[in-house]
Amino acid sequence: MKIAVLIKQVPDTESRIVINSDKNGIESTNIKFIVSPYDEIATEQAIQIGGETFAVCVGDTRSTEALRTALSMGIQSAVHIDTESTQLDSFQTATVLAELLKQKNVDLILCGKQGIDFDNALVPAMIAELLDIPQVLTVDKVDVMDGKLRIGRRAARGSKEIYDCPLPALISCDRGLNTPRYPSLPNIMKAKSKPIEKILAVQLLNNEKPLTRFVNYALAPERAAGKILTGDVETQVTELVRLLKEEL
Amino acid sequence: MLLIFVEHDNSTIKKSSLELIAKADELKLAPDEPVILEVLEARADAKVLSDTIDKHKPRIVLASNSLNAKDVFPKVAARLKIGLATDVVDLKIDNGKLIAKKPLYAGKAFCEVHFSTEIQMALVRPNSFAIKEEICDRLSELQHLNTSTLKHSDSPSATLVETLTDATSKQTDITEAEIIVAGGRGMGSKENFDLLSQLAETLGGTVGASRAAVDAEFATHAMQVGQTGKVVSPKLYIACGISGAIQHWAGIRTAKTIVAINKDKDAPIFQKANYGIVGDALEILPKLADALKQG
């Protein structure tokens, strides 16, 4: 099977966020960048399913670090779609990825359900639409049977849905699907010489313009420090009940 | 014209949809601008929804940021090349166009989403807006409600083979809950989570859990609150035996009132909670439930 894994490079959750002077992005100095965790899960799943695997990342030059991580886990090759200094919106990102994926003729596309930076959850379904292929999103179980997929995902009220999905298809991955492996030292060394193909995003964009722009970035207001209730347990409970009745 | 896709639970319109209907009044460009309601079912077809939007030619399309909506609206956006903002927490009109506000970086920052398209679409987080009491919640009684009967597309798709329901899960979806009582690893066991259920029942709330509690199998993933669980926005969040790691905080940032109960006085959660009790949740929870029942 030929499998494409779509990964996004994002700031680590622990990073301190500083808004840039144009208020349309963040300062990237002092930020630890990682492969978005749901994309790591997708990468692990591709390796477990096996076959011909490659990872794709849309972003600036720093993206190659994210691709090396995927290669270190065991992905065979990678493609960097270089956005140079431009910021693409979700639709443009989906457009360039769909264009590349059309050229690569894949059986299965795996990606995380959303990037943990923006939590948009837009690109996966947009790609499925642009390629006119079946999709199942936020998946936590995948089995390959007879060239089809048997897929499970959590739905409303703790229920679980089971799908049968023909190939080619796109699956977006949720926590619970697998536990991504730590790259072994031999694999990290091997990854250094695995090929990363580079394509300019502008060559795949078909002149599509952004449908949305993210502007006026601002830090979230800090919550005021609260108070620790004092006294013995009975006193604390009584005081809490009083406060809750006021609030509610 | 505003087009709102409404979701229901056995013919009762969901509160998250009622919030959108209420908010629509503030987004009109003229007092008599029509608001049309359509029903969004699970596994809705992107072509059908796109044809519906083409038919109505709305200025603004709204839906809740639900599983059903996230399955289909991105496809509609790509198909019709319409701007779509997701995980939205606020909406306003500026120069006749919709502006959506959404959180970024696990809620550490916010941005505005500006649209370059004539139609603006937004999927809104539950508990973002107040509802108006006079709007009825019975599907059957809303006069201008349509259910699309347009033809489905012939595109290849996945087939739903089976739905396994969790018979034990009768509680509200935590993303829509107004009151959440949550437990962490400090609760110690699955049995101790019953104390949370009892308090939740007294308050009319729902039980949640931290990732540590879910990993320890005290609770199911459906109850998990946090960056890799669900983001919630209740009026009241009571965190019991939860240390308050940054990933958990990401899920509760916008809760109105946070109460923390933890044995560890240095637990990070005390820095962000409105009220804290340093103590054993197992001892305090039953007393709290009793005191609330009496008052």
Torsion of CA A130, A211, A171, B150, to 10 degrees: -60
User: What pTM value is reported for the model?
Assistant: 0.91
Structure tokens, B112: 């505005």
Strand partners, A79: A56, A197
Mean pLDDT of B108-124: 97
Residue from B72, B101, B157, B224 whose CB has the most chain A CBs within 10 Å, to mutate: B157
Q: Check if A71 contacts B (Cβ < 8 Å).
A: no
| Cα distances (angstroms) measured from residue B187 to each of A71, B51, B74, B239 | 40, 51, 39, 10
CA gap A136, A173 in Å, rounded: 9
Residue B194, pLDDT > 60, answer yes
For B268, the closest chain A residue by CA position comes to: A225
| Cα distances (angstroms) measured from residue A215 to each of A23, A107, B83 | 6, 37, 14
- What is the pLDDT, as a whole number, of residue B148? 54
| Helix residue spans in B179-295 (DSSP H) | 193-203, 211-215, 246-252, 269-272, 281-294
What is the DSSP code (8-state) at residue B175? G
Residue A209, pLDDT > 50, answer yes
Q: Smallest Cα–Cα separation from B41: which of B66, B77, B75?
A: B66
CA gap A135, A142 in Å, rounded: 13
In chain B, where do the E strands start and end? 2-6, 8-9, 12-13, 35-39, 60-64, 83-88, 90-94, 97-104, 109-115, 120-124, 145-146, 159-164, 179-183, 206-209, 236-240, 257-262, 275-278
What is the DSSP code (8-state) at residue B53? H
- What is the pLDDT, as a whole number, of residue A245? 86
**Considering only residues 156 to 215 of chain A, which have any Cβ-Cβ distance to chain B shorter than 8 Å?**
156-166, 169, 175-176, 209-215
Secondary structure of residue B67 in the 3-state scheme: helix
Rounded CA Rg of chain B: 21
> Are A134 and B157 within 8 A, CB to CB?
yes
CA gap A57, A196 in Å, rounded: 10
Mean confidence (pLDDT) of chain A: 95
CB-side neighbour CA atoms (13 Å) of B14: 26
Strand partners, B138: B12
Reported as a pLDDT band with limits 50, 70 and 90, residue B125 is: very high
Mean confidence (pLDDT) of chain B: 90
What is the DSSP code (8-state) at residue B187? G
**B139 or A209, which is more confident:** A209
Secondary structure of residue B71 in the 3-state scheme: helix
Residue A152's φ and ψ, nearest 5 degrees, are -120, 145
Handedness of CA A132, A134, A136, A141 (dihedral sign): negative
CA gap A218, A25 in Å, rounded: 10
Mean pLDDT of A91-103: 98
Report chain B's terminal Cα–Cα distance, integer Å: 48
**Considering only residues 86 to 115 of chain A, which have any Cβ-Cβ distance to chain B shorter than 8 Å?**
90-91, 94
- What is the pLDDT, as a whole number, of residue B143? 46
Query: Which tens digits make up the pLDDT trace of B217-240?
Result: 999 888 999 988 899 999 999 999
> Minimal Cα–Cα distance from B37 to chain A, Å?
22
Angle at B276 between CA B271 and CA B282, to 5 degrees: 125
A109 neighbors A171 (Cβ within 8 angstroms): yes
Mean pLDDT of B80-95: 97
Secondary structure of residue B229 in the 3-state scheme: coil
CA gap B183, B198 in Å, rounded: 13
Q: Smallest Cα–Cα separation from A174: which of A120, A110, A97, A107?
A: A110
Q: For chain B, what percent of residues have pLDDT higher than 90? A: 75
Q: Smallest Cα–Cα separation from A90: which of B87, B196, B228?
A: B87
CA gap B9, B138 in Å, rounded: 10
A123 neighbors A245 (Cβ within 8 angstroms): no
- What is the pLDDT, as a whole number, of residue B150? 57
Residue B212's φ and ψ, nearest 5 degrees, are -60, -40
Angle at B10 between CA B8 and CA B12, to 5 degrees: 55
Structure tokens, B277: 């009790």
ipTM of the prediction greater than 0.90, yes or no: yes
CA gap A241, A243 in Å, rounded: 5
**Considering only residues 26 to 65 of chain A, which have any Cβ-Cβ distance to chain B shorter than 8 Å?**
26, 37
Query: Which tens digits make up the pLDDT trace of B35-64?
Result: 999 999 888 999 999 999 998 999 999 999
Structure tokens, A114: 């959303």
Residue carrying the six token digits 């056995």: B10
> Which residue in the set A163, A212, A247 is minimally distant from B159, CB to CB?
A163
> Are A162 and B162 within 8 A, CB to CB?
yes
Q: Which residues contact A23 (CB under 8 A, 6 or more apart)?
A: A215, A216, A217, A218
Structure tokens, A220: 């979230």
Q: Which residues contact B271 (CB under 8 A, 6 or more apart)?
A: A225, B244
* Chain centre distance of CA B170: 17
CA gap B295, B289 in Å, rounded: 10
- Which pairs from A164-167 meet CB under 8 Å and 24+ separation? A164/B158, A164/B159, A164/B161, A165/A134, A165/A136, A165/B158, A165/B159, A166/A134, A166/B156, A166/B158, A167/A1, A167/A107, A167/A108
Q: How many interface pairs between A and B have CB atoms less than 8 angstroms apart?
A: 233
- What is the pLDDT, as a whole number, of residue A175? 92
Residue A27, pLDDT > 50, answer yes
